[in-house]
Structure 1
Amino acid sequence: MCTIVFAIGQSRHFPLVVAANRDEFFHRPTAAMDWWQADTGQNILAGRDLESGGTWLAVSQEGMVAAVTNVREGSAEAGRCSRGELPLKALSQPCQNLKEMLGSEAGRYSGFNLISLSTSGGWYYSNRDAHPGRQIFKGIYGLSNHLLQTPWPKLLRLRNNIGRHIDQAGTDSSELHNQLAPLLQDTTPAPDNQLPDTGVGIETERFLSSLFIAGDHYGTRATTIVTVSEQGEIRVTEQSWGPNARKQEQRQFCWQR
């Protein structure tokens, strides 16, 4: 499970802002965010899933961002391929080519949402969307484990809060990262009457309804913020978390494209 809010063209100083939480089982082997060469030959900045390969969020040297979330389904069948390869494909090939590949084999992957973002726009594809493959234009968007802009309470709250900070942002990217990070640590659960019914049962719906999930075996494992400035500065901050919200390593990267 993951939550992502991203803003395109909402600040004259930062035309692209991405803020995300990655939720996963703590026993799943993972390498922290770093530079590595994908099978596509492209150098990317990303964490690595050491169990199935690939990643959940990747940043290119040019400042493009691609990320994937799963679609929460109570009785989903496993796909033949790992969804973690999708962000790598999104950064290495044209959207139309990827759309054709994804449309040709519906059962290749379990349910997913894929976004590919730049400072000028983006692209969204879900194999659970009735009309998959949409261009994304200027705006602020929320994505979790259903379709883009599904109004889950945690998404609405985060999108509104991040929007206010972006509106007021100055030119200091480090300051903006410091302002956004606490917003991603919100543990407020949704009221029962606002919970979705995704087939996992009421107790699990409650547990997953907060933006930041603090659990023994499953929870938020990484908080990631990416900004691309109008001058071409790319800044990435990732905070890793252990069980029960135990703070672990923080990594920061900053370069000029």
Structure 2
Amino acid sequence: MCLIIFAYQVHPVYKLIVAANRDEFLQRPTAPAHYWEDQPDILAGRDLEKMGTWMGVTRTGRFAALTNYRDPKEITEGKRSRGELVADALKHKGNVKDYMQSLAGKQDFYPGYNLLAGEGTELYYYSNKGQKLQAVDPGIYGVSNHLLNTEWQKVQKGKEGMSKIINGEQDELVGNLLNMLQNADQAPDELLPNTGVSLEWERRLSPLFIQSENYGTRSSTVMLMADKAIQYVERVFTKEGVSEQQYKMNRSK
């Protein structure tokens, strides 16, 4: 994932609402959202190169999602795939807080990342760049390729869009969030971050929805989590067109 916008405990029905875009090189082999054959309680897409994932949920309502921290100077050779963090959080048999706390001793194992994970009434955020475990309070948040709520224009635009949508027409919640994620307007130069890539790439990476010849938004995902049910919708973008997977599950104990 390169953008996660989420509303936590601010909606009267859905305790967690997530709208997220996964940006990746177009040639990287990927499976769309499905129940994993080797972990049938997990619903997620899958990176077929490293067998991890960027976002997923379990039948019990455990949720996890990740974005990369952009630092072109970081040495990544020999480090592990960040996608295993999400997969491991979903597979972890103990308390999700214990799993998140265990990452503090492994910050150098992975390239820079932001990880969200939670279950029930708990949601946590950890970055191996910020190196501080945070219990998420009720509110609307966004994280892209820096730290949580860094005021990049795409994050601010996503948070404002989320607020407007969840306070609007409830029958169109999923569709409106998916449409928001397809906003491809670039930020003006004066609002671009300086992350160490070229000005051309800062412009290209600034929209919510990224498009370029070899790299871009591969999928958009919306998840609505209520006390007893979860709705999970993924829209996949390929050169051949657009496809969509929709799942509804009752939460098991």
Q: Which TM-score applies when normalising by structure 1?
A: 0.91
Task: Tell me if structure 2 keeps the 8 A contact 1:4–1:19.
Answer: yes
Gaps of 5+ in 1: none
CA RMSD for the aligned pairs?
A: 1.7
Residue in structure 2 matched with residue 81 of structure 1 by the alignment: 80
Regions of 4+ moved over 4 Å:
none
Task: Tell me if structure 2 keeps the 8 A contact 1:13–1:169.
Answer: no
1:177 matches 2:174 = yes
SS of residue matched to 1:248: strand
Task: Tell me if structure 2 keeps the 8 A contact 1:35–1:46.
Answer: yes
Task: Tell me if structure 1 keeps the 8 A contact 2:229–2:250.
Answer: yes
Structure 1 position 168, deviation (Å): 2.8
1:104 matches 2:105 = yes
AA at the equivalent of 2:128: N
SS of residue matched to 1:254: strand
* Residue correspondence of structure 1 range 223-242 to structure 2 within 5 A: 223-230=220-227, 232-242=228-238
May I ask how many residue pairs the two structures share in their alignment? Answer: 248
For the structure 1 residues 111 and 142, does the alpha-carbon distance in structure 2 shift closer, same or farther, using more than 3 Å as the test? same
Structure 1 position 165, deviation (Å): 1.3
For the structure 1 residues 121 and 102, does the alpha-carbon distance in structure 2 shift closer, same or farther, using more than 3 Å as the test? closer
Q: Supply the distance in 1 between the matched residues of 2:159 and 2:125 (Cα, whole angstroms).
A: 17
Q: Which TM-score applies when normalising by structure 2?
A: 0.92
Q: Supply the distance in 1 between the matched residues of 2:13 and 2:51 (Cα, whole angstroms).
A: 35
Residue in structure 1 matched with residue 68 of structure 2 by the alignment: 70
Percent same amino acid among aligned pairs?
40
SS of residue matched to 2:108: coil
Residue in structure 2 matched with residue 255 of structure 1 by the alignment: 249
AA at the equivalent of 1:224: T
Q: Spell out, residue by residue over 1:106-134, the C-alpha distance to the aligned partner (whole angstroms, 9 max, x if none).
A: 320010000013453410000000x4211
Residue in structure 1 matched with residue 126 of structure 2 by the alignment: 125
SS of residue matched to 2:36: strand
Residue in structure 2 matched with residue 156 of structure 1 by the alignment: 156
AA at the equivalent of 2:145: N
Q: Supply the distance in 2 between the matched residues of 1:67 and 1:56 (Cα, whole angstroms).
A: 6
SS of residue matched to 1:137: coil
